[in-house]
Amino acid sequence: MTWLARLRVGGIVGVVILAGIGSVLLAPRGGETPAARGADQGQVIEALVASLDDGPNGAITGPWDLELPRDYGAHPDAPAETWSVVAHLTDPQGRPLSVNLVLTRVGRTHGGDAEATPWGPGPVHIAQATINAADPGLRASEERISRARGAAGHDVAAGEIWLDDWTLEYGTDALDLTLRLSDQLLRLRLEPRKTPLAPTGEDTAGPRGFAIPRLAVSGSLETAGTVLELGGTAWLDRLWGEIPLPGGPLVRDRLVLHLSDGAELSLLRTRRRDGRGIATVDGVLVGPDGGATLLEDGAVDLTSGPLQEDSAMPGSWRIAGEGLDLRVTLLGASGQEGFALPVRVGQLEVEGTRQGMPVEGAGTVLLSGGDGT
Amino acid sequence: MRARAGLLIAACLLAAACREEGTDYRSETGVVPATEQRPGDPEAGYAALVNAPYVSCGIPHDAFTRVLPETDPADLLPGREGLNAELPYAFTAHENAEGVTIVSSNCLTCHAAEIEGELIVGLGNEFADFTQDPRRLVLQSGNFVRGDAETRAWERWADRVDGIAPYIRTATVGVNPATNLTWALMAHRDPETLEWSAEPLMEPPQAEPLPISVPPWWGMRDKEAMFYTTVGRGDHSTFMLLASMLCVDSVEEFEAVDAYADDIRAYIASLEAPVYPHPIDEDRAALGAAIYARGCATCHGGQGTDYPNLVVPLDEIGTDAAYATAATDGSRDRFYEWIARSPYGDAESAAPAPGYIAPPLDGVWATAPYLHNGSVPSLETLLSPEDRPRYWRHVLPRAYDREAVGWRFEVLDEGQAAEPDPELRRRIYDTTRHGYGNGGHVHGADLSAEERAALIEYLKTL
């Protein structure tokens, strides 16, 4: 393979595997100085970057094939990794509620002397969770950061990834997510309903990972003594290796849609933070049978509606191409500018057609650094 | 938009006002007169070619290694220093003024290629892919850029790529858009200060580049003009620095590169054509030599004839006229004027003739596909005009065809318009496209099969 082709493959793998995993991880730092954002946030960012300075040996190489449940679990040999869940749920009254979780580990666990002290250099774990709903009392968002050994990590024997009391347990048949945000306790069981999307058998040094575009979700949200039963669908992303780093000159908008005919769509729009140059839109369209179509730049048109002042993101989007004609409307948004890695998360509803047949659906938009217009 | 139009008009008026009296930026067909070249040190020239930062903007090294973490040992070149020793031959690293290590494309991106297991510096790269939008690669690399200094370096490179990207996408993998790329860069630079402008200062070239095949460097030893229509007369050393124009933002930077340009030119002129690596039928080649002397040497030189530097008129050679016509119909004159006003040349540097120069044929066995636009895949099809494929594509992985002398190819029934898959479409050489025609140069049509085979055998010896 020529160097030019490898450049392309490396770039495509990063986009195609998950079509935009971990928008939180990708969020640029913006123009603020660390002092302006608060010393803690600036130090976190600097720590993240420093942790990734593994030099040319940061890449993991060799053949790889997806194996579950193993690959739900951590890959501590990789310089960074991330777990991402986007869930589109409804309560018994049919009211929509969406959940977004991104858990990221940056930096390896260094051996030797560093292991002798809990304050030695170790990986940073960052998790961000958001609940969006029409009821303001149900909305919540929180960021947790841990560098202390034991406060976050991966238990292979138990099949569990955790940060404080946020946990993601995995097994052969399902994953169980537990999040406590302020006075709310969210428990979700996620059962895969489609074959994972993953490259296989490639001897490449690019990022590795997989996506499960549709998982059936059941669970509950406990708040103020009441229990709200929830059900719906979710999209899971896993990525590890030399993945895009925090900061930098790009901003990204990611849309994840679950359609009523059983299809899913993930789109990633990437452009320069300074506004110059072009925007690219890549993604993947998954049919009801699980067959995936890679959407290279230009395959679909993604246009944004006017910016909404209250949500600071567009109020609508239009997606056309590849048999899709979808109108996407923003139901509500959560701003997370106070986070060390700012991102805005919006709850979406979808209507339109796919292959000429009417569809509707639910979705999530994650804006990392830009306003999505 | 109105302000931009006004700027364009003002720039055009300024260019017209500065146009030298009596200059028409044209040459006659026929023999290109000789020009003495600046002397240089070939050894120092090679060192500069593979190590010096004549293209001074690119991808920050940390991002580069994350996009391309491994180097194929076959892509390493001797004589490279420091970090360059670890990079593929087509890339050069240097540290910029802010301490950021930058990796840039160098001349060998287009002027080095592998054939029969050997990497040949000076052989045109006939497999490079310019069909994609390079801004996409720019964004991919941006995923791994960190910190303010790296971001500034990346943005500088990204801005230049943004400037040229609309003008360098070819229809087919393998052909080269270098001419259009150069015109596009000129449109964004002041010819006297070389300062970059985000908005074009004059009308850019047409969006779709006319395709060219990259000529081998070893021909520079004999050629008095560098390019097919004899643009590139006079001082070759300075003129070839147009290749570094992507990032040279001042006359001072230009002069810094020009200081060793004569050495690079001397190295290029010292190159010998690669020797055909397979057995040759000497008896048959001897028969072919006589045919060559009778029918080819007048234009191409050899067989006791000095290389004549002969430009053959379009109506005589009959090959695709688009490239030479565009060079001489007035639509490029603003770029020739730019050159005349710039430190890269003078009023004689870019003075094309309405025809194509017959190239020297040293190492012609290695330089397929043939004609100025790379439209004919082998010597066999070149010398059998009736057999030239209308639609064809390279067989991949690439394989050299010793019999036909060229890269193995597949004849197709239909052209690009009939192929819905863009990945397959861009692999098709469609000779019905504008500028991609494979007609003309019918020499060989009247040879017998035996004579043609003898001539091909002889051409292997050059």
Calculate the alpha carbon distances from B96 to B46, B59, B102, B154 in Å: 22, 11, 7, 11
CB pairs under 8 A between A and B: 101
Residue A243 is assigned to a structural domain of this protein: yes
Q: What is the percent of chain B with per-residue pLDDT over 70, rounded to a whole number? A: 95
Residue A254 is assigned to a structural domain of this protein: yes
Q: Quick one: average pLDDT of B85-98?
A: 96
Torsion of CA B272, B119, B181, B93, to 10 degrees: -110
Among B146, B162, B176, B424, most A C-beta atoms within 10 A, so best to mutate, is B146
- The residue of chain A nearest to residue B149, with distances taken between CA atoms, is A248
The ipTM estimated for the assembled molecules is 0.80
Q: Quick one: average pLDDT of B361-367?
A: 97
Between CA A133 and CA B194 the distance in angstroms is: 56
- The residue of chain A nearest to residue B164, with distances taken between CA atoms, is A277
Residue A77 is predicted with a pLDDT of 84
Beta carbons of B144 and A274 less than 8 Å apart: no
What are the residues whose beta carbons fall under 8 Å from the beta carbon of A269, sequence distance 6 or more? A252, A253, A254, A279, A280, A281, A302
Between CA B409 and CA B167 the distance in angstroms is: 28
Residue A154 is predicted with a pLDDT of 85
Between CA B447 and CA B382 the distance in angstroms is: 12
Residue A268 domain boundaries: 3-368
Of A6, A15, A249, the CB nearest to B68: A6
Task: From chain B, pick out residues whose CB is under 8 angstroms from the CB of A58.
Answer: 66, 69
- The residue of chain B nearest to residue A248, with distances taken between CA atoms, is B146
Beta carbons of A58 and B138 less than 8 Å apart: no
Residue A335 is assigned to a structural domain of this protein: yes
Of A8, A250, A297, the CB nearest to B142: A250
**Residue A144 belongs to domain with CATH number:** 2.40.370.10
Task: From chain A, pick out residues whose CB is under 8 angstroms from the CB of B158.
Answer: 249, 272, 276-277
Ranges under pLDDT 70 in chain A: 1-59, 109-122, 148-150, 200-206, 245-247, 335-337, 370-373
Between CA A184 and CA A176 the distance in angstroms is: 16
> pLDDT per residue over B298-316, tens digit each?
999 987 778 999 999 999 9
Residue A341 is predicted with a pLDDT of 75
Upstream peptide bond of B377 is cis (omega within 30 degrees of 0): no
Partner residues linked to A143 by β-bridges: A128
Beta carbons of B146 and A274 less than 8 Å apart: no
**DSSP line for B363-420:** TGGGS-SBTTTT-B-BHHHHS-GGG--SEEEE-SS--EETTTTEE-EEE-SS-GGG--
Residue B282 is predicted with a pLDDT of 97
Each residue of B136-156: b (16+ CB within 10 Å) or e?
bbbbbbbbbbbbeebbebbbb
Residue A373 is assigned to a structural domain of this protein: no
- Kindly tell me if the per-residue pLDDT of B22 is higher than 90: no
Helix B333-341 with B178-187: angle, nearest 10 deg: 60
Residue A356 is predicted with a pLDDT of 97
Q: Which tokens in the block code for residue A25?
A: 């991880």
The nearest CA of chain B is from the CA of A2 a distance in Å of 9
Number of domains in chain A: 1
Between CA A95 and CA A98 the distance in angstroms is: 10
Q: Quick one: average pLDDT of B53-65?
A: 93
Among B136, B425, B427, most A C-beta atoms within 10 A, so best to mutate, is B136
Q: What is the pTM of this model?
A: 0.85
What's the half-sphere exposure (Cβ side, CA atoms, 13 Å) at B257? 27
Beta carbons of A250 and B139 less than 8 Å apart: yes
Residue B18 is predicted with a pLDDT of 42
Beta carbons of A271 and B127 less than 8 Å apart: no
Alpha helices in B95-224 (DSSP H): 108-111, 134-142, 147-164, 178-187
Q: Where are the domains of chain B?
A: 1-29+169-462
Beta carbons of B90 and A3 less than 8 Å apart: yes
- Kindly tell me if the per-residue pLDDT of B7 is higher than 60: no
Beta carbons of A56 and B144 less than 8 Å apart: no
Q: Which tokens in the block code for residue A364?
A: 């999530």
Between CA A226 and CA A155 the distance in angstroms is: 32
The nearest CA of chain A is from the CA of B331 a distance in Å of 27
The nearest CA of chain A is from the CA of B294 a distance in Å of 42
Q: Which tokens in the block code for residue A106?
A: 């940056």
Of B68, B75, B136, the CB nearest to A280: B136
Task: From chain B, pick out residues whose CB is under 8 angstroms from the CB of A246.
Answer: 146
Residue A63 is predicted with a pLDDT of 77
Chain A residues within 8 A (CB-CB) of chain B?
2-8, 10-11, 14-15, 26, 49, 56, 58-59, 61, 205, 242, 244-250, 270-272, 274, 276-278, 280, 297
Between CA B79 and CA B48 the distance in angstroms is: 10
**DSSP line for B30-88:** EEPPP-PPPP--HHHHHHHHHH--SS---EEHHHHHHHS----GGG--TT--GGGGGS-
Residue B5 is predicted with a pLDDT of 40
Quickly count: other Cβ atoms within 10 Å of residue A118's Cβ: 11
Beta carbons of B151 and A248 less than 8 Å apart: yes
Beta carbons of B69 and A270 less than 8 Å apart: no
Between CA A209 and CA A103 the distance in angstroms is: 14
> pLDDT per residue over B242-276, tens digit each?
999 999 999 999 999 999 999 999 999 999 999 99
- Average pLDDT, rounded, for chain B: 93
- Kindly tell me if the per-residue pLDDT of B451 is higher than 70: yes
Beta carbons of B70 and A205 less than 8 Å apart: yes
Beta carbons of A3 and B69 less than 8 Å apart: no
